[in-house]
């Protein structure tokens, strides 16, 4: 386990907004989402332990945090580069890493997972942590499509389990969807809302329904753009320009699909069509399936609907 310096973190946190209840956050999953959440949590003075299966993944995650912090600092400390450097050092001082989650949950107020979208893997993770985490520790999932209640079902803390759904890129996107299941206690829900607010995010309350609010609207919209293109009714470039300039979206649907990951979009769609096969909004897209089968997942693999350097 690499400790970078939680003492620094406490000194730093005294002047920043922080949830009274949640101080130490264990984030499982050092990919784009997990690292992004770790960044905003550490930037707001929380003590963060980032967990993944290998030191190499963790090193990549921390490197990503550093790169993103440099972008933030460039604006925030435009005239004070030294203060910017100090800010980056302080934030990184709030982040430690580990490969064994059970060894670091002892003082965790919140364990939040952002790992692969696989119900069994998520259940195994939480079932293991449930046996060793303190009584008060809240568990949360950043799943984009799986029912929170199904993930929680293997634990003994249904009342202390909820969903916290962040958006990519986490440092820039201002929203967090807070999801309560029928068993989530009001105290837990309030703690999750307060924690998200302490991260500087705006929250919306969601039921534990497929896609919550944003993905339930966004994924069918993006897929309808693909179908429109498949019908030959518009080039992907024109559809992207149309939605950016005609609807004011920051990215067109093809750009956004590449950004989110075509594998992620397909996983979400497949899950929904398994639940409601007759819903035309969840219909399969041959083009999306072909790209995913070819390993063209978007920006992260260098090619999706577009090619990336």
Are residues 87 and 73 in contact, defined by beta-carbon separation less than 8 angstroms? yes
Give CA torsion, residues 285, 286, 289, 293, to 10 deg.
180
Rule CB under 6 A: is residue 251 a binding residue for ligand 3HC? Answer: yes
Within 152-181, the residues that bind ligand 3HC by CB under 6 A are 167-169, 171-173
Distance of closest approach, residue 226 Cβ to ligand 3HC, in angstroms: 15
Helix (H, G, I), strand (E, B) or coil at 137: coil
- Smaller CB distance to ligand 3HC: residue 104 or 163? 163
Closest-CA residue to 57 (of 18, 7, 16, 115): 115
Pick between residue 64 and residue 157 the one whose CB is nearest to ligand 3HC: 64
**The one catalytic residue among 19, 144, 194, 196:** 144
- For the window 19-58, what string marks contact with ligand 3HC as x by the rule CB under 6 A? ----------------------------------------
Residue with Cβ nearer ligand 3HC (59 or 251): 251
SS3 call for 196: helix
Active site residue 113: no
Torsion of CA 69, 75, 80, 85, to 10 degrees: 10
Query: Does 141 qualify as catalytic in the annotation?
Result: no
Q: 287 with 222: CB under 8 angstroms? A: no
| 309 makes contact with ligand 3HC (CB under 6 A) | no
Look up 165 and say whether it is catalytic.
Answer: yes
Rounded CA separation 115/117 (Å):
6
Query: Is residue 246 a contact point for ligand 3HC (CB under 6 A)?
Result: no
Structure tokens at 130: 């449930």
Supply the residues annotated as catalytic: 144, 165, 177, 215
Which residues here bind ligand 3HC, judged by CB under 6 A?
A: 68, 71-72, 75, 144, 167-169, 171-173, 215, 218, 250-251, 256, 260, 264
């Amino acid at each position: 386990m690499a400790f970078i310096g939680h003492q620094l973190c406490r000194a730093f946190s005294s002047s920043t907004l922080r949830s009274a209840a949640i101080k130490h956050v264990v984030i499982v999953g050092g990919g784009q989402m997990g690292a992004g959440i770790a960044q905003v949590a550490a930037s707001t003075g929380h003590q963060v332990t980032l967990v993944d299966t290998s030191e190499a993944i963790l090193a990549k995650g921390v490197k990503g945090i550093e790169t993103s912090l440099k972008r933030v600092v460039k604006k925030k400390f435009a005239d004070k580069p030294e203060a910017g450097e100090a800010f980056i050092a302080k934030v990184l001082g709030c982040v430690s890493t580990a490969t064994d989650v059970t060894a670091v949950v002892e003082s965790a107020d919140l364990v939040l997972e952002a790992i692969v979208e696989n119900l069994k893997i998520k259940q195994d993770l939480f079932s293991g942590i449930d046996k060793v985490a303190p009584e008060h520790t809240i568990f949360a999932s950043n799943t984009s499509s799986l029912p929170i209640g199904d993930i929680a079902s293997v634990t003994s803390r249904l009342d202390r389990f909820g969903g916290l759904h962040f958006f990519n890129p986490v440092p820039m996107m201002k929203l967090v969807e807070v999801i309560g299941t029928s068993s989530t206690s009001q105290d837990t829900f309030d703690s999750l809302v307060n924690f998200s607010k302490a991260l500087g995010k705006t929250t919306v309350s969601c039921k534990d329904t497929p896609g919550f609010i944003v993905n339930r609207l966004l994924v069918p919209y993006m897929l309808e753009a693909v179908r429109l293109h498949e019908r030959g009714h518009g080039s992907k470039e024109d559809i992207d320009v149309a939605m950016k300039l005609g609807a004011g979206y920051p990215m067109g649907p093809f750009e956004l699909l590449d950004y989110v990951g075509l594998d992620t979009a397909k996983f979400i769609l497949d899950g929904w069509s398994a639940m409601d096969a007759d819903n035309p909004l969840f219909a399969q897209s041959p083009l999306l399936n072909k790209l995913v089968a070819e390993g063209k997942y978007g920006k992260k693999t260098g090619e999706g609907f577009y090619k990336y350097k």
